[in-house]
Copies of this chain bind each other. A is one copy, B any other.
Amino acid sequence: MFRISIIFVSLVLANPHRAHGDDSLPSWNDTTSKKAIVAFVERVTKEGSPDFVPAPERIATFDNDGTLWAEKPVPFQVLFAFARVKALAPQHPEWKTHEPFASLLKGDMNGLAASGEKGILQVIAATHTGITTDEFTQEVQNWIATAKHPKTGRLYTGMVYQPMLELLAYLRANGFKTFIVSGGGVEFMRAWAERVYRIPPEQVVGSSGKLKLETRAGKLVLIKLPEVDLIDDKEGKPVGIQTRIGRRPIAAFGNSDGDLQMLQWTTQGSGVRFALLVHHDDAKREFAYDRADRLQRLDKAWDEAIAKGWTVVSMKNDWKTVFPPTR
């Protein structure tokens, strides 16, 4: 019996299609959300079942901000942009008197907010373009290795959600290919997504600007231009999925109205589909915000989730822990 057990355990460990939800999602409480995830995965991976989906078609797409990691007080990429404005300010004395930079440098967030979307785009252009893709990646990696969240004091990569890390691994162990499909900048996320989420660059879809190939010192470089290529949010998400992945997901995961079209696109495919929204209802361990939030609203998508029977995760009730143990 001992010998047989050893062999059985080895088989279970060796066979990626045999990972069980009960063991693989330890940070999830045993509530309806976890049960719905496990039931879906078991349905589509059971060979011979009418709901079986071949592994190459097991595409799962995840929003990033608010779905895989926190997004308050503002998406962390915005904080990266602010840090870069401060770092670049000595080279731009004119910013002291020009909005939105003047407000930003004085720490006047109301003044910055008053500059609206146009102001934000100016900050993005000043901090995300005019440099090579390799230089940008290095800047992101330098920042994310050291910058700390103003409220928790954690590294930003320490504010990923432990239950979602387990969910990503559980899906991959069941033959799924996991993608990020986020409104965040694609090159910002790719700089650390492989290390943190085990999602390689080619499986990260995000908002992007145009690039230009140039020769510098005899070598080719790609320059980031201040022209929008794709806004990977709302109706842009199915566009990003089709142009970058080329296959409709069978499962999609989000947390706000910006994810609604991705969840609709996913669930309108034929066969069994799965859609999940993370509801931020845990002011104590994370943040609480939904319909009334100005930046990351969960309103229409929530209504549709209720109407369509999508899974809505309560962070407060469904998750045993929110963040990974601090390192």
Contact = CB atoms under 8 A, between A and B. Distances in A.
A208 interface: yes
Nearest to A201: B246
A285 interface: no
A244 interface: yes
Interface string A83-109: 000000000000000000000000000
A59 B306 CA distance: 42
Given A194-B56, A264-B220, A201 B247 contact: yes
Contacts of A133: 242
Nearest to A248: B134
A261 interface: yes
Interface residues of A, number: 35
A211 B235 CA distance: 10
A279 interface: no
A265 interface: yes
A213 interface: yes
A297 to B, nearest CB: 20
A235 B213 contact: yes
A254 interface: no
A222 interface: yes
Given A56-B194, A211-B243, A220 B238 contact: yes
The oligomer's copy count stands at 2
Contacts of A213: 235, 238-239, 261
A177 B200 CA distance: 11
Contacts of A56: 194, 200
A127 B242 CA distance: 19
A112 to B, nearest CB: 29
A187 to B, nearest CB: 7
A175 to B, nearest CB: 13
Interface in A191-229: 194, 200-204, 208, 211-213, 219-220, 222, 229
B245 A202 contact: yes
A56 B195 CA distance: 12
A268 interface: yes
Contact of A261 (B194, B220, B239, B246): B220
Interface string A252-295: 00000000010011001000000000000000000000000000
A201 to B, nearest CB: 3
B239 A211 contact: yes
B177 A202 contact: yes
